[in-house]
Amino acid sequence: MPDAATDAARDWPDQIYALLKEHDIRQVALVPDAGHSRLIKRCLADNDMKVATLTTEEEGIAMLFGAWLGGEKGVLLMQSSGVGNCINMLSVPISHRTPCPMIVTMRGDYGEFNPFQVPMGNATQTVLEAMGTLVKRADAPEDVAPTVNATLRLAFNTYRPTATLIGQRVIGAKTFGK
Amino acid sequence: MSVTTAHNAKRMYRFDLTKRLVAKLHRDEAVIGGIGHSNFDLFTAGHRPQNFYMLGSMGLAIPIALGVAIAQPQRKVFALEGDGSLLMQLGCLSTVATQAPKNLIILVMDNGTYQITGGQVTPAAGGTDFVAVARGCGLTSAAWAADEADFERLVEQGLATDGPHLIGLKLDEQGPAGQTERDPAQIRDRFMRGMGVKKSKLVT
């Protein structure tokens, strides 16, 4: 009989989706990452969610801001490398005091095979925090849902950028078949 | 029938065009003024509760307007973006074409320069045609305004028909008519009240 930990190992993307519904998220902005593929499929299948695939994560920070201005809640899904792309844009939620929840799947983190992913992966948390983002990590599958819940609550209740970093230990280190 | 192109469109005065736009707005349409002189002239044309002024981070007026347009599909939403800003986020035109919000109208304010930093020419000086770029991205309703009267016609068409629409405006070298007050949190708060999504007793 599966215990809670093995359920979480399999189901954490579904648990995130349930949290997005619970928090009435209507706009999901993303640059795809393999670690988020199951969650993205759930969001695409949901008629109450508008999913926007972006050309760069910068657009997502602005789109979430526009959503909030118009009375809707959004979330940004991206890979750790995308964090590097949108750092200056975090001025938007900071200066306007608006929620900006981000769910980040890590690369360059735990058992990474691609040297190029390491510099940004290693700097992701530091750089986000330097821009005033409240960052929490989840390094075990059963920690993902409570951490994402905290990230959403902190964003929408305290009006600031927040992020959950989902460690590569949870996602599984990619090998491209090696 | 003559076709207006990037080469034969009249170079017009941004503040005059902004006033012409605002004069056409009678249904609480949202207007997102992009960074720099685009929002300066929007503010100077007369503050409306449905105006938002972007004070920083180049290239975000259109993605912000996209978020507003999706959240409020019954309201027309305008994005005023400079050519230099748009160059920082050209990809957003593809995103808009794919999301295809019917209520979004993009105005590209093209003076060919970074006017606010001293009038340096942009890297598009080699001949980038922003309307052609928009069409190439999938925004089929994209046109250069031939002159002021044509601009007014295109705005009326944008208000009356489903978009997304994009209007290209060639600008002359005149500077902005004023400056926007710089309090981002207040600008955001007032705009959300103008959108009807914030009802707080903390008013005065």
Question: Per residue in B145-162, pLDDT tens?
Answer: 999 999 999 999 999 999
Q: State whether residue B184 is helix, strand or coil.
A: helix
- Residues B6, B129 contacting (CB under 8 angstroms): yes
Tell me how close the Cα of B25 comes to any Cα of chain A, in angstroms.
Answer: 18
**Is residue B1 included in any domain, yes or no?**
no
**What tens digit of pLDDT does each residue of A67-125 get?**
999 999 999 999 999 999 999 999 999 999 999 999 999 999 988 999 999 999 999 99
Q: Which residues in chain A have their CB less than 8 angstroms from residue B89's CB? A: 56, 58-59
Q: Which residues in chain B have their CB less than 8 angstroms from residue A72's CB? A: 67, 70-71
Q: What is the phi/psi pair of residue A53, to 5°?
A: -85, 130
Counting the structural domains of chain B, the total is: 1
**Tokens, residue B26:** 């009678």
**Is residue B39 included in any domain, yes or no?**
yes
**Tokens, residue B109:** 């304010």
**What tens digit of pLDDT does each residue of B29-50 get?**
999 999 999 999 999 999 999 9
pLDDT at A153 over 70: yes
**Burial of residue B84 (number of CB atoms within 10 Å: 0-12, 13-18, 19+):** buried
Calpha distance A163→A145 (Å, rounded): 13
Calpha distance B84→B70 (Å, rounded): 25
The domain of B152 spans 14-194
Q: Are B57 and A88 a contacting pair at CB < 8 A?
A: yes
Tell me how close the Cα of B138 comes to any Cα of chain A, in angstroms.
Answer: 14
**Is residue B9 included in any domain, yes or no?**
no
Q: What domains does chain A contain, in order, with CATH numbers?
A: 4-66+80-170 (3.40.50.970)
User: Global pTM?
Assistant: 0.96
Q: Are B95 and A54 a contacting pair at CB < 8 A?
A: yes
ipTM of the complex: 0.96
CA closest to B34 among chain A residues = A62
Q: Which residues in chain B have their CB less than 8 angstroms from residue A50's CB? A: 70, 99
- Residues A65, B64 contacting (CB under 8 angstroms): yes
**Is residue B20 included in any domain, yes or no?**
yes
